[in-house]
Structure 1
Amino acid sequence: MKLVFATNNLNKLKELQNLLGEEIELLSLADIHCQDEIPEDHETLEENARQKAKYIFDKYKLNCFADDTGLEIEALNNEPGVYSARYAGEDKDSKANMKKVLLKLKGCENRKSRFRTVISLFIDGKENQFEGIVKGNILEKERGIDGFGYDPIFEPDGYELSFAEMDMKEKNKISHRGLAVQKLVDYLLQLK
């Protein structure tokens, strides 16, 4: 089975290919010669993931999946949520995004938050969605140098490390993306 992962992130692609084994071949957007700016203009992670996957399925008639992820902070009415990547502006600056979050939470005791990933899979026009959630807290300041995005200010429940202080293997076991991907992998392996 061939399956398009609607991403240009080769690290994500390689990681998933390892989980799926050899019976399912993953293709990137580059592999199908898609250089389109795929729209993501909805108000929920579910709708954005669906929009990206359906765009590829409709245009290329290939089975595919796409994901969308957001950080939801309880004290900020679940901001930045669907706007996580562009929270501080269109240039998707992680440092600026973290700075904005820390500024908005200054003096706030409730630092509960969660990362949420939604994956939308289209096979033969039929959609399935898979969700991964990890709960935690926003730290007072950045800690750690690994990871990306909000990882340096997010500490998952039950740990005394930020995501940016964890090694990749440990983070992937408990992360929102890791949990959603595992559900996707389990589903795909049933189809083989």
Structure 2
Amino acid sequence: MLKNGVIKVITSNKHKFDELDEMAKRNNVNLEWINAPKLEIQADSLEEIVRYSASIFYSIFKSPILVDDSGLFIEELNGFPGPYTNFVKRTLDNKGILKLLSGIKNRKAYFETALCYIDDKITKIFSGKVNGTIISDIRGTEGFGFDPIFVPNGSFKTFAEMKIEEKNTYSHRAAAFKKFLDFYITYRS
């Protein structure tokens, strides 16, 4: 039986931590933000990236770890930027993606998240996905990353126009974290 201890969430992105923490608190799960960049390997799979990073951080902290990696996959660009989303955000940003899609009618895209949980007994990956559309302008001030240009199916707002609680009803990260919570609540008891 696991103690109701603390899970260290490794991310340099406080917004990601806040999204997870909002859901964790409602489920009596204690998270601690470790402000560190995940150790990314060059890989074509989000799962490979988080598994590697989580195992490295577990070897450092020797306590339960949770690592997230998310990607934006644009249909017309054959899934680009995918697992290279963080690099593309830093180099092209929202305006660069909009420029790549200039004049293109097919704006379908999806966000996908892989979360890796590791402790002294298991390593387990949880995934979440949300389909949506890349709009043609930048809207909203909430969120981060490509949130200002992505509208999830079922909404007219970009993720950047939503508060955390509303975003968590749609988001890929929330879907993956919900799967984690369903597992963890049973696992720790």
TM-score for both structures, normalised by structure 2 = 0.85
Are 1:74 and 1:111, in contact at CA under 8 Å, matched by a contact in 2? yes
User: Runs of 5+ in structure 1 lacking a partner?
Assistant: none
The amino acid across from 1:187 in the alignment is F
**Number of the residue aligned with 2:103:** 107
| 1:136-188 C-alpha deviation (Å, 9 max, x unpaired) | 01001112222211111101112211112223211111101111111111111
RMSD of aligned C-alpha atoms?
Answer: 2.0
Q: Which has the higher contact order (CA 8 A, sep 6+)?
A: 2
Identical-pair percentage: 34
1:72 is matched with 73
In 1, the alpha carbon distance for the partners of 2:168 and 2:66 equals 19
Distance 1:143-1:38 versus aligned 2 partners, 3 A rule: closer
Distance 1:144 1:28 in 2: 25
Shift of the alpha carbon at 1:125? 4.2
Q: Does residue 46 of the first structure (1) align with residue 51 of the second (2)? A: no
The equivalent residue for 1:189 is 185
Deviates more, 1:114-123 or 1:11-20: 11-20
Aligned-partner Cα distance in 1 for 2:149–2:22:
24
What residue is the counterpart of 1:26 in the other structure?
Answer: 31
SS at match of 2:127: strand
Kindly state the Cα deviation for residue 38 of structure 1 after the two structures are TM-superposed.
4.3
Matched letter for residue 26 of structure 1: L
Please list every run of 5 or more consecutive structure 2 residues that lacks an aligned counterpart in the other structure.
none
Gap change, CA 1:148 and 1:110, over 3 Å in 2 = same
By how many angstroms is 1:16 displaced? 4.8
Distance of aligned partners of 1:135 and 1:190 in 2 relative to their CA distance in 1, 3 Å threshold: same
Out of 11, 36, 56, the position equivalent to 1:7 is 11
Q: Does the 8 Å CA contact 2:55/2:118 hold for their aligned counterparts?
A: yes
Equivalent pairs counted in the alignment come to: 180
> 2 CA distance for matches of 1:116 and 1:62?
26
2: CA distance between counterparts of 1:39 and 1:167?
29
Q: Distance in 2 between matches of 1:9 and 1:98?
A: 17
CA contact (8 A) 1:163 1:171 kept: yes
- Give the letter for the 1:101 counterpart: I
Q: Within 1, Cα distance between the matches of 2:23 and 2:13?
A: 11
Can you list the C-alpha shifts for 1:4-25, whole angstroms capped at 9, x where unaligned? Answer: 222344551542541341xx43
Q: What is the CA-CA distance between 1:123 and the residue it aligns to? A: 2.4
Cα distance in 1 for partners of 2:141, 2:12 equals 23
For the Cα contact (< 8 Å) 2:39–2:53, is it kept in 1? Answer: yes
Deviation, 1:28, is 3.1
Give the Cα separation in 1 of the matches to 2:65 and 2:156: 37
Match of 1:126 in 2: 122
- The aligned counterpart of 2:166 is 170
Instruction: Determine the C-alpha separation between the residues in 2 that align with 1:77 and 1:9.
Output: 27
